[in-house]
Chains A and B, each alone.
Chain A
Amino acid sequence: MRGYRKISLGISAMLASLSARADYSWNFPEPVTPMALDTLHVHNKFMLIAMAIFVVVLAIMIYSIFAHRKSKNFKPVTDKAPSTTVEIFWTLIPFAILLLIDFVIMGIPAYHSVIMMENTRDKANMVIKITGSQWRWQYEYMDGDAQGIKFVSNLSTPKEQTDKGFSGTKDENYLLEVDNHLVLPVGAKVRILMTSADVMHNWWVPQFGSSRLAVPGFIRETWVQVEKAGTYRGQCKELCGKGHGYMPVVVDALPVEEYKVWVAAKKEELAKASAGADKEWTKDELIANGKTVYEKNCAVCHQVSGAGLPPAFPALTGSKIANAPIFGADGKYLKDSHLDRVLNGVRVMPSWKALLNDTEIASVITYERNALGNSVGDVLQPAQVKAARQ
């Protein structure tokens, strides 16, 4: 008896886990915005229509396959040309049905969805700007209390887990975790301005039902209105180079009160960081800070050791640029100097001007010049970077 109960418990647990999975695996994940909900409805409806058409046509075909066989001695009939009235009738009726399905049953809801999707401005409560770059997202709050908050969001799955041949246990949110989550208030309509710093990216959270291409040099728009608190994950979905699979999107939707607390805390954190730019740093402090910045932002191409991945991504160890002077006799930074490269980029090397703050740029350059097998010996202060930006 007890054994029987155990087995039935086991089976129901298994079924429960199957049905829990079923929510995720067989259709879109649970929608949390009006747009995603609409998309799910449209998808279900269209799929149902498509399947109905498919099943009916398939049934007719299968019947014919079994009934009208040579092996059953079925004699072929000759199709007679129908009379004009019959022909017109049999042409117009299917056309009418198809037109009804295409442009009324499917077409009208689709029309409303498009209008809803493209209506980014009406009653928008706040605006954020998302900038894609290889291979991270940058978020900037454009208005309201949070105006001025700006940060970069990098993949935070430990590097050894994503390395070739890793055989240990992977994190639960493998490839779907970042260091800085985008935080949005629940219920607010958020207008999103989308752009890119280098190649095309596409910001996509399946549970939001919105996805828009980030085009360098242009602003594209979309919107989200998250109606349920929670953490939502997505990925870049436009091929953007070798790191394409490694730039996830993570969004925390917080109730308005908690969101306000987060805004205040984030502002304070950013103020502290920019205050750091005005003080004089020691070489060791810069190197220690630079190591973190380097491994988070630069190591994906130039490698942790600085060896790079030539020819696409040059080595920093012994690199001409990392060992040449930064400033000329007039005190301005030289063209093609280390600082110029980091600030402005060249070809595949992105511009870091907007992605890193003064302290981070100063630290990472000091680190690259005094570690990774280089020993130039000089120190770049955040104040100098600040001056160089002007």
Chain B
Amino acid sequence: MSTTTVAHHEEHAEHPTGIMRWLTTTNHKDIGTMYLTFALIMFFVGGAMILGIRAELFKPGLQLMNPEFFNQLIGVHALIMIFAALMPAATGFANWMIPLQIGAPDMALPRLNNWGFWLLPPSAILLTLPFTLALFGIGDGALATGWTFYPPLSIQGGIGVDFAIFAVHLLGISSVLGSINIIVTVFNMRAPGMTLMKMPMFVWGWLITAFLLIATIPVLAGAVTMLLTDRHFGTHFFDAAGGGDPIMFQHLFWFFGHPEVYILLLPVWGFIPQILETFSRKPMYGYKAQVYSFWGVGVLSVVVWAHHFFTSGMPVPALLYFMYSTMAISLPLAVMFFCWIKTMWKGSMSFETPMLFTVGWIILFGIGGLTGLVLADVAADAQYHNSYFIVAHFHYTLFAGGIMGIMAGTYYWLPKMTGHMYNEKLGKLHFWLTAISFNLTFIPQFFLGLAGMPRRIPDYALQFAEFNMISTIAAFTLGLSQLLFVYNIVTCARGGKKATAQVWEGAQGLEWTLPSPPPYHSFTEQPTVK
């Protein structure tokens, strides 16, 4: 009886087709797909920018661009990768998977959801438009201060700074809307029996991410607005001559900026144990410990911000506090690593693409985490700070720890989303090319940093030549390998071997009880969790 009602309902589910479907949709899966597609496109836009930079750094001397343009590319690359690639990708998965994982028909606030997405394309245009305007002689190009907007350089800058400020405002509104939606959904729409402590790890990761976003995005919005009024309306928040302090901006920015790191990582930390338990064919180890660790990281993340600018100068007690509190983050992270490895231990593992990405992720993110621990040391930080060492470190956390985690999740859920299996051979090739070329890109950068090469310089002294050359060649391999990813996704969306409802032999959880692809209104009949 119930099945016929469902089928009946499906038949009459009327929604616009063509472009209007996507413009007006309030469906969580449609919106999720748009987020993911947008993120993928922007991943290539940001990637193209960095390949331009790596090409310039291929050998000493200026070959392709002038320093002004170089400075614009580095900042916009970072903003795009963080705000327009990684965050939308995580939000895309939240839209797709949270209702499926908690047994809800849709997100709680569907129209808000639609608006949250449609704020993104305009902000991406705002970020990149100044490049085009400069071609027509309007302004002097995009933001050239690096993604951190530090005044007084950003006060000195051209219209690119204003465009970036408004882009950050829009992106911030979008993130806060998305977060409100997720919190409301998680608190109100869980299936009967799914208590908070039975929620899948991904939902937990996002719940804490959403709280962090709501706590910190307004601070960033405030800081860049103060910058805007300093630039145009004669205020002196960050100008010592008027009683302000440029270092205050760094405090405000990183009060947002450090939690932002975990905002990017927590959703991925949710993927990892779920993928591990599926391919190890045994339930994850230490669920509670992981949930508490998430909270631990969430809380610690808002009290350690000043380790991003130890060399700016601060009182000794402040230096010591920020050093020790930063080191303390290793405690919850160690718990998580322990649980992940214990989940694999004595499982019955198989290594399909999602599992390969996950295992690679654990190793590479481990390198990112351990170098982070070393960076916490104030005295040594004087050497690492703003050198290529730090560039390598945060790409281990954000490319390996962020993007490769997103790729693991993509391969894991792609059959569920499209109803087709992707090409496993290509997936594995994509993993090996990505992992190897990633390491070849960034390991040389650790050594460049130790040898004394500062970041954000368009040209460099001769002793840095060899490592830069290796890094550039590997970066191009890394970039081109991602075309395999797109090809695999597109062919999988278009057709291929039909996927079963469970897709993976060891997969557990509500999303695997629905057919692949899931019906338009996910759960029309409320499931119960025992």
Contacts and interface: CB of A to CB of B under 8 A. Distances in A.
A200 to B, nearest CB: 6
Given A162-B62, A211-B382, A94 B334 contact: yes
B467 A25 contact: yes
A113 interface: yes
B313 A221 contact: yes
Interface residues of A, number: 100
B447 A234 contact: no
Contacts of B10: none
B362 A61 contact: yes
Nearest to A50: B370
Interface range on chain B (Cβ under 8 Å from partner): 35 or more
B454 interface: yes
B281 A111 contact: no
Interface stretch (A52-60, A291-299, A371-379): A52-60
A27 B452 CA distance: 9
A163 B379 contact: no
Contacts of A35: 379
A320 interface: no
Q: How would you classify the secondary structure of chain B's contact residues: helix, strand, loop or mixed?
A: helix
Interface stretch (B85-93, B144-152, B403-411): B144-152
A206 interface: yes
Interface string B194-232: 000000000000000000000000000000000000000
Contacts of B313: 212-213, 215, 220-221
B324 to A, nearest CB: 7
Contact of A102 (B68, B330, B345, B347): B330
B56 to A, nearest CB: 10
B371 interface: yes
Interface string B106-120: 000000000000000
A307 interface: no
A245 interface: yes
Interface stretch (B122-130, B238-246, B266-274, B483-491): B238-246
A68 B346 contact: yes
Contact of B152 (A167, A199, A209): A199
21 contacts: A29-B451, A38-B379, A39-B380, A46-B374, A51-B370, A61-B344, A61-B363, A74-B349, A103-B327, A111-B320, A114-B320, A117-B379, A165-B63, A211-B383, A211-B385, A217-B239, A237-B455, A241-B71, A242-B66, A244-B457, A245-B454
Interface of A: 24-29, 35-36, 38-39, 42-43, 46-47, 50-51, 53-54, 57-58, 60-61, 64-65, 68-71, 73-79, 94-95, 98-99, 102-103, 106-107, 110-111, 113-118, 161-167, 170, 172-176, 198-200, 202, 204, 206, 209-213, 215-218, 220-221, 233-246, 309, 311-312, 347-348
Interface of B: 60-63, 65-68, 71, 139-140, 144-146, 150, 152-153, 156, 158, 239-241, 245-247, 280-283, 285, 309, 311-313, 316, 319-320, 323-324, 327-328, 330-331, 334, 337-338, 341-342, 344-351, 359, 362-363, 366-367, 370-371, 373-374, 377-380, 382-383, 385-387, 447, 450-452, 454-463, 466-467
Given A164-B66, A200-B152, 12 more contacts: A68-B347, A78-B282, A79-B283, A103-B324, A110-B377, A110-B379, A202-B311, A202-B386, A213-B312, A237-B455, A238-B150, A238-B386
